[in-house]
């Protein structure tokens, strides 16, 4: 079902009768480059920034996601009803945002059996072709622009039935193709542009590789709203190559490789190509990784103001972990490395300290010697780019 750019929120809502859901079809959310918000998005100075209380008018994308997501929650399509999560900023230099999310720790789907970062897609395992029709919100489709850049895949936007936070969705490229959980340029482009379609400064997108705590081996990215600034938005960095294409992010839970784009067109396309070359390198060498996309300051700047001027992509190479460590306060994946800690139990939430959080995260990172080897290899890989 095609939906024009002038359509209202009701276009993405399900009919009242369950038997009509499949007949309705998946609505299209079609957007153009002019809807990508590169400037003017900022944090409010003294007010919460929940998706429903934006200080600025909600974008068309935010309206579509929030209205459809809320309806699916009211219809009981999630594994649990997500209320306002108890939240605290841990004392210390990092500024961890910890949230108590007991239901996710207990009720989320068990991770699949994974043994390799390069594991092939298995249609017999759970995958996103097996979900209920009502879990899909809409199809994200980009209009071709004058530069000839167009998304190669249509992206299904669907609810995560075990949400981390309000508005938690999955971006799934062409599910019927059965793509394994390996980052592709079209998927990354969709994730970057989803962040830019939102006028909410706390809408972020991320990717977990196999071995990096991806629980489903079917290509997908996560997107969700968090009404709090995170350390990775404004942490300082140092350039690793003369051209300034690759930076090392510092003063965060774990050092990560920083990529940045300040505008559309060639700048954004170069970032997508650069990041996917790096993730291909890591995947081919069985090195697990996590990726996080957020609005933030240019490399080398800390941006103390509330204005967000571009998009940061942070990539962490880490130890492979297959399965979930049930005894830990939190599992280390894309949001934890960015400074957002969904904690599983009230006891851990009440006792968690910055030092304990850093120790858990550090335990998942590569040993120093291997981390240095990876950094040198990525610098060399970046230097091979055409000027």
* Catalytic site positions: 220
Unique residue bearing structure tokens 């995947």:
283
The span from the CA of 387 to the CA of 242, in Å, is: 12
Which of 370, 352, 373, 359 lies closest to 87 in space, CA to CA?
Answer: 352
Q: According to DSSP H, which parts of the chain are helical?
A: 21-24, 60-74, 102-107, 185-197, 231-234, 266-284, 334-338, 346-351, 354-362, 368-383
Burial class (CB in 10 A: 0-12, 13-18, 19+), 387: exposed
Which of 80, 50, 47 lies closest to 62 in space, CA to CA?
Answer: 50
Q: How many CA atoms lie within 13 A of 299 on its CB side?
A: 20
The span from the CA of 377 to the CA of 198, in Å, is: 35
CA angle 275, 155, 55 (to 5 degrees): 85
């Amino acid at each position: 079902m095609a939906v024009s750019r002038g359509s209202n929120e009701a276009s993405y809502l399900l009919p009242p009768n369950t038997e009509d859901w499949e007949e309705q079809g998946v609505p299209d959310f079609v957007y153009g480059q002019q809807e990508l918000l590169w400037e003017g998005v900022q944090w409010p100075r003294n007010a919460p920034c929940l998706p429903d209380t934006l200080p600025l008018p909600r974008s068309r994308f935010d309206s579509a996601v929030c209205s459809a997501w809320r309806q699916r929650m009211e219809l009981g399509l999630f594994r649990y009803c997500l209320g306002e999560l108890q939240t605290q900023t841990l004392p210390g230099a990092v500024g961890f945002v910890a949230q108590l999310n007991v239901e996710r720790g207990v009720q989320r789907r068990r991770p699949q059996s994974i043994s390799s970062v390069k594991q092939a897609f298995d249609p017999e395992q759970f995958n996103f072709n097996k979900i209920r029709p009502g879990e899909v919100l809409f199809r994200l489709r980009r209009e071709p622009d004058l530069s000839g850049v167009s998304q190669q895949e249509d992206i299904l936007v669907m609810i995560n039935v075990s949400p981390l936070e309000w508005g938690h969705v999955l971006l799934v490229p062409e599910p019927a193709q059965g793509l394994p959980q390996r980052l592709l340029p079209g998927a990354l482009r969709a994730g970057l542009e989803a962040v830019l379609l939102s006028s909410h400064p706390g809408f972020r997108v991320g990717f977990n590789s196999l071995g990096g705590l991806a629980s489903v081996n079917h290509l997908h990215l996560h997107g969700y709203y968090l009404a709090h600034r995170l350390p990775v938005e404004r942490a300082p960095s140092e350039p690793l190559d003369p051209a300034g294409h690759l930076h090392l992010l510092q003063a965060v839970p774990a050092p990560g490789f920083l990529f940045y784009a300040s505008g559309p067109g060639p700048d954004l396309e170069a970032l997508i190509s650069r990041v996917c070359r790096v993730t291909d390198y890591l995947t081919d060498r069985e090195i697990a990784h996590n990726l996080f996309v957020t609005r933030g300051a240019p490399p080398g700047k800390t941006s103390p103001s509330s204005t967000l001027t571009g998009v940061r992509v942070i990539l962490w190479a880490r130890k492979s972990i297959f399965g979930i460590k049930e005894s830990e306060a939190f599992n280390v994946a894309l949001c934890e490395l960015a400074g957002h800690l969904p904690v599983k139990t009230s006891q851990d939430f009440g006792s968690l300290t910055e030092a304990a959080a850093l120790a858990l995260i550090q335990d998942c990172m590569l040993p120093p010697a291997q981390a240095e080897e990876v950094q040198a290899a990525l610098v060399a890989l970046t230097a091979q780019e055409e000027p």
